[in-house]
């Protein structure tokens, strides 16, 4: 690695002058600045970021932990975060928890050991204990949760109103004439899975439709394969179901695929609504009615809040936590009447 000393020796000037020239100090002549920068470029000099970090007490990196990268929603979140991070000169370390609580804990330990300036996280489905999250706060590292959160952890959060969105989705099924509505829900732990189930249940109650627990199917990994499997199981268990609210688009697309194979007409025989507005929702046949979840905007908001908290911490300001609730939108397509 080329050092400031080597540049100084090459030009016959002091290390201090080289350093000032590279930083654009006014007390160094334009001619010297130009010469230093040309020599630094010729020698392929790269600033020692570790030394800069020690001096500024900033790593200019943040950690991002998400359950899965390939999911359309999370890939949109990543784009939003990276767009904002690049504007502020931050590197984003992206880690995938694979919905594992144990892996999530290890990844947080890794990020803290790397002295990241802050952490953005959407919790794994398996996370039921939050000690590892409170440790981040105890170490005074700013943390912002998004999408899948823990309500009891005192930090900033960027979410949607999952209960309201699920209510509106279920109400849409009721409005198009559905009387027996099933729900393919996510695992028991994530708050968004809980809230979507509660929104579904409340919509039934408010519209005088009986809640039947046998119409609620608990999914583990929220996959295409599970969507197909439970669609087939629904046909065995409840031939009278005329609508399904499904927790995520990937599962809904799996269900549509299975119904198509079985010759079940959508929406004539069964209406289906998903959640997320994955791009595949618009190209599958029939196209999927779904809830648009603003992932890109969520990523942007989450980074902006984290960045402000990082700067407030550096200035020894009191960090005031925020909870931002983003709007969702029902996108009506061919899978509902």
CA 249 – CA 160 distance, rounded (Å):
16
Average pLDDT rounded to a whole number, residues 330-337: 97
Residues 130 and 175 in one domain: no
What is residue 53's predicted lDDT score, i.e. its pLDDT? 61
What is residue 46's predicted lDDT score, i.e. its pLDDT? 83
Q: Which residue in the block uniquely carries the two structure tokens 């119904």?
A: 259
Residues 189 and 139 in one domain: no
Rounded alpha-carbon distances, angstroms, from residue 78 to 95, 276, 289, 309 = 11, 15, 24, 19
Residue 194: count other Cβ atoms within 10 Å of its Cβ: 16
Of 41-50, 148-157, 324-333, which range is least confident? Answer: 41-50
Radius of gyration, alpha carbons of the chain? 26
Domain-located, residue 267: yes
Total of domains in the chain: 3
87 vs 221, residue with greater confidence? 87
Residues 155 and 207 in one domain: no
Please say if the pLDDT value at position 28 is more than 70.
yes
Phi, psi angle pair for 201, to nearest 5°? -65, -40
Please say if the pLDDT value at position 159 is more than 70.
yes
What is residue 2's predicted lDDT score, i.e. its pLDDT? 87
Which residues 6+ apart lie within 8 Å of 71 measured at CB?
Answer: 250
What is residue 51's predicted lDDT score, i.e. its pLDDT? 62
Average pLDDT, the chain: 94
CA 291 – CA 141 distance, rounded (Å):
34
Task: Tell me the pLDDT tens digit for each residue of 165-195.
Answer: 999 999 999 999 999 999 999 998 889 999 9
Please say if the pLDDT value at position 54 is more than 60.
no
Average pLDDT rounded to a whole number, residues 89-96: 96
Residue 22: count other Cβ atoms within 10 Å of its Cβ: 17
Strand order in the sheet with 323-326: 91-96, 61-66, 118-121, 143-146, 156-160, 323-326
Average pLDDT rounded to a whole number, residues 231-239: 97
| Residue in 126, 169, 121 with CA at minimum distance from that of residue 142 | 121
Residues 250 and 321 in one domain: no
Domain of residue 92, residue span: 57-160+295-329
Domain-located, residue 86: yes
Q: What angle do CA 32, 36, 37 make, to 5 degrees?
A: 120
Average pLDDT rounded to a whole number, residues 98-112: 95
| pTM of the predicted protein model | 0.83
């Amino acid at each position: 690695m080329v050092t400031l000393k080597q540049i100084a020796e090459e030009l016959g000037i002091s290390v201090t002058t080289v350093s000032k020239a590279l930083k654009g100090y006014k007390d160094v002549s334009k001619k010297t600045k130009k010469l230093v920068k040309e020599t630094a470029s010729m020698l392929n000099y790269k600033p020692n970021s570790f030394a800069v970090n020690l001096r500024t007490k900033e790593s200019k990196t943040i950690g991002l932990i998400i359950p899965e990268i390939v999911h359309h929603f999370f890939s949109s979140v990543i784009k939003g975060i990276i767009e904002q991070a690049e504007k502020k000169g931050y590197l984003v370390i992206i880690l995938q928890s694979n919905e594992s609580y144990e892996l999530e804990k290890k990844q947080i330990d890794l990020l803290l050991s790397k002295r990241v300036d802050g952490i953005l996280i959407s919790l794994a489905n398996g996370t039921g204990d939050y000690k590892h999250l409170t440790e981040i706060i105890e170490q005074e590292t700013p943390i912002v949760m998004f999408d899948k959160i823990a309500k009891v952890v005192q930090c900033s959060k960027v979410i949607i109103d999952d209960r309201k969105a699920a209510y509106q989705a279920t109400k849409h099924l009721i409005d198009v004439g559905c009387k027996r509505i099933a729900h393919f829900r996510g695992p028991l732990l994530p708050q968004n899975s809980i809230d979507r189930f509660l929104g579904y249940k409340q919509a039934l109650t408010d519209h005088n439709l009986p809640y039947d627990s046998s119409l609620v199917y608990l999914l583990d990994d929220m996959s295409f394969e599970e969507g197909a499997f439970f669609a087939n199981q629904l046909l065995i268990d409840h031939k009278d179901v005329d609508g399904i609210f499904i927790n995520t688009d990937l599962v809904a697309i799996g269900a549509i695929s299975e119904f198509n194979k079985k010759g079940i007409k959508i929406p004539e025989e069964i209406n289906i609504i998903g959640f997320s507005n994955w791009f595949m929702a618009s190209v599958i046949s029939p196209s999927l009615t779904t809830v648009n979840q603003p992932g890109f905007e969520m990523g942007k908001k989450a980074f902006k809040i984290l960045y402000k908290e990082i700067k407030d911490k550096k200035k020894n300001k009191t960090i005031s936590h925020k909870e931002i609730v983003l709007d969702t939108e029902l996108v009506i397509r061919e899978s509902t009447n």
